[in-house]
Amino acid sequence: MAARPGGRRCLALRCPREREADPRSNSQSPIQAKINSMPRALITGCTGQDGSYLTEFLLAKGYDVHGLKRRASSLNTDRLDHIYQDVHEAGARFFLHYADLTDGSSLATLLYDLRPDEIYNLGAQSHVKVSFEIPEYTADVVACGTLRLLEAMRRTGVQCHFYQASSSEMFGSTPPPQDEATPFHPRSPYACAKVFGHNITVNYRESYGLHASSGILFNHESPRRGETFVTRKITRAVAHIKHGLQHKLYLGNLEARRDWGYAPDYIRAMWLMLQQETAGDFAIGTGEAHTVREFVELAFAHAGLDWKDYVEVDARYFRPAEVDFLCANPSHARRVLGWEPTVTFQELVRIMVDADCAEVDRQLAGGISAVRPEAAHV
């Protein structure tokens, strides 16, 4: 594919941005020209927790947002439905495109056609326990998918800022506090794949001068968190138990410690990274860690329940290799990005329990009387 050079555009909110002349847009109407002057973002993984918050965040900042959506046999845009815009509506600024991180040609075509100002690579098989069961697929999406996207950037010559969703899981068994200089010791196929994604991002920055940044994000949660991650599994169970719809909650390792923050705070950090003059790596977390047991205690207590009456440990939820203790040193991000978390651990637990209780209330009002069974034990 021929290189298509184009200069990085400034963000509309910070300074007027000029798109390079596009031979396909000679006869633009004034309205079309205005639309095309908006900064343009491409998000992989836009249907996920982070992708949905990032889409909202960027739309509010005036971006045109293009989301990559993979083909599924049923609709999987629940987290985006409230901001969906019919492409036929005048002024629509949010668009979904079919593509897949396992399909390099679809990525290159998207980049070539859209020529985004910013790319956020959030797409992943993101479940650590599942990665032990589908390790090759996990590596294909998480490691090779990142390489495919960077290679598409390089080969199309699209000049844009790139964000890689790296993970604190990469630190694995290296003791806390962890930051940008901490050595990696990954403990799962997922974490090994993320280490590759991180290193190849650094490598393309150093080899080809790409503006490619890596956010090493510690666990961040919200009411939109996938139902099989431990926090959401707990808060959903609390809501169901509270309403008499569930009797037990089976969990794995209660002693693992995580630095849990609130997802919308972490979205702001991603965006800030891409507004920097120079690309780099940033560890993003609260600097405070808690055990799974503490999360459980607080969540049940918030609903007026004693967790000991409901929680049982089931070894099927243990992992072949565990990550015992993650806790960030976010001082680099604080200093360079001016980033600070705004929601405490206690507030996070309350937000998630309240949201799941409200959801159960809503479902019950609609006549649903049974908990949707989990399809997988993770």
Residue 336 pairs with which residues in a beta bridge?
none
Does 174 bind ligand G4F (CB under 6 A)? Our answer is no
My answer on whether omega of the bond before 177 falls inside 30° of 0, hence cis, is yes
Provide, rounded to whole angstroms, the least separation between the CB of residue 322 and ligand G4F: 6
Compose the 246-285 pattern: x for residues touching ligand G4F by CB under 6 A, - for all others.
-----xxx--x-x---------------------------
Closest CA to 271 of 195, 146, 161, 114: 161
State the angle between helix axes of 292-302 and 230-242 in degrees (0 to 180), rounded to the nearest 10. 30
Beta pairing partners, 262: 221
The CB-of-156 to ligand NAP minimum distance in angstroms stands at: 18
Taking the complex as a whole, the smallest distance from the CB of residue 108 to ligand NAP amounts, in Å, to: 14
349 lines the binding site for ligand G4F (CB under 6 A): no
Q: What is the DSSP letter of 87?
A: T
Considering only residues 38, 212, 217, 269, which one is a binding residue for ligand NAP as defined by CB under 6 A?
A: 217
What is the nearest approach in angstroms of ligand G4F to the Cβ of residue 30? 44
Distance of alpha carbon 297 from the chain centroid: 27
151 makes contact, choosing from ligand NAP, ligand G4F, none, with CB < 5 to 8 Å by partner type, with none
Our finding on whether 319 is near ligand G4F (CB under 6 A) is: yes
* Binder among 100, 180, 324, 359 for ligand NAP (CB under 6 A): 100
Beta-carbon neighbour count of residue 162 at 10 Å?
26
Contacts of 244 (CB under 8 A, 6+ apart): none
Q: What single DSSP character describes residue 254?
A: S
Rounded CA separation 355/239 (Å)? 9
294 in catalytic set: no
Active site residue 167: yes
Question: How many residues are recorded in the chain?
Answer: 378
Q: Interface with ligand NAP includes 55 (CB under 6 A)?
A: no
Instruction: Name the segment binding ligand NAP (CB under 6 A); options: 56-64, 95-103, 110-118, 354-362.
Output: 95-103
45 lies in the binding site for ligand NAP (CB under 6 A): yes
What residue type is assigned to position 319 of the chain? R
* Binding flag, residue 317, ligand G4F (CB under 6 A): yes
**C-alpha–C-alpha distance, residues 270 and 69, integer Å:** 20
Those residues whose C-beta lies under 8 Å from the C-beta of residue 278, and which sit 6 or more positions away, are none
Q: How far is CA 201 from the centre of its chain?
A: 17
131: contact with ligand NAP by CB under 6 A: no
Kindly report the number of other CB atoms within 10 A of residue 37's CB atom: 15
Q: Under the criterion CB under 6 A, does residue 169 sit at the interface with ligand G4F?
A: yes
Catalytic-residue membership of 173: no
Q: Do the Cβ atoms of 260 and 219 come closer than 8 Å?
A: yes
Contact flag: residue 285 with ligand NAP (CB under 6 A): no
Pick the catalytic residue from 53, 190, 204, 266: 190
Among 214, 219, 235, 363, binds ligand G4F (CB under 6 A): 219
Nearer to ligand NAP, 370 or 375 (CB): 375
Cα–Cα nearest to 254, from 225, 306, 198, 297: 297
Give the total of residues touching ligand NAP (CB under 6 A).
26
Q: Is 172 in the site for ligand NAP (CB under 6 A)?
A: no
Shortest distance (Å) from residue 123 CB to ligand G4F:
12
Residue 363 binds which entry of ligand G4F, ligand NAP, none, CB below 5-8 Å type-dependent: none
Q: Is 43 exposed, middle or buried (0-12, 13-18, 19+ CB in 10 A)?
A: buried
Catalogue the active-site residues: 167, 169, 190
Residues that bind ligand G4F (CB under 6 A): 126, 128-129, 167-169, 218-219, 228-230, 233, 251-253, 256, 258, 292, 317, 319, 322-323, 326, 378
